[in-house]
Amino acid sequence: KMKAFYQLCILIGLVIKTHSGPVPANIGKEEDDLAKNYLKKLYNMKEEHTRSARSTDHSVSEMSEKLSEMQEFFGLKVTGTLDAETLEVMKKPRCGVPDVAGYNDATGSYKWTKKQLTYRYLNYTSDMTQEEVDSSIGRALKVWADITPLRFSRIYSGVADIMISFPLTHEMSVFYKYNKCTSSGSQK
C-alpha cells in the first residue's frame, strides 16, 4: 500500500509539473504586473476575470498570445512567455502609443456606431498639392458613401472620427526618434 501511495504522489507531482506554465523563476510579481499592465495598455489585452478556472485559463492564454504578438513586433524570439529579453523591451521608454490597432474583429467592435462621420487633415504630404490630396481623399470617401450608409464631412479643428496624417519630414522624424517618453506617455 505504501508503494502505491508513493507512486501516486510521484504521478500527481508529474501532472502538476506538466500542467504548470513555463514562467522563469527570476520573474517576480512586480515584473508580472508590469507586463500585464503593458499588454493591457499597448496590446489591447482584456482585464483578467478570475471567477472560474476556465476564465483564468483564458486570461493566461490571452496573456501568452499577447506576449507572442509583442515579441514578434519587436523581433524577439517568440515564446509567449515573459522572459528577461521581453521584460527589458517592456521597461524601455516609449510614448504610450499602442503597437497594434485598437479593434477586435471577433467582437464586431470595428464597425462605426454612427452613420455621419467627420474627417480632418492633421497635415499634408509634400508629394502632392493640397488640392490633389483633397480630391483623392474626397473621391475615396465618395466610393464608401456610394455603397454604404456612411456620410462624410470635413472639419478643420477638433477631433474627427477619421484623422488623416502623412509621414513627417526627415527633421521631425529624427526629433521623434530621439525624443524620450516614459511608458506612461509623458515626456521626460
Q: Which residues participate in the annotated binding site for Ca(2+)?
A: 127, 161
Q: Distance between CA atoms of 121 and 159, rounded to whole angstroms?
A: 10
Q: Distance between CA atoms of 70 and 39, rounded to whole angstroms?
A: 8
Which residue in 161, 110, 119 sits closest to 138, CA to CA?
A: 119
The DSSP call for residue 187 is B
| Annotated binding residues | 95, 127, 161
Q: Distance between CA atoms of 165 and 102, rounded to whole angstroms?
A: 17
Amino acid at the residue 112? W
Amino acid at the residue 40? K
| Annotated binding residues for Zn(2+) | 95
**Grid coordinates representing 48?**
483578467
Q: Which residues contact 25 (CB under 8 A, 6 or more apart)?
A: none
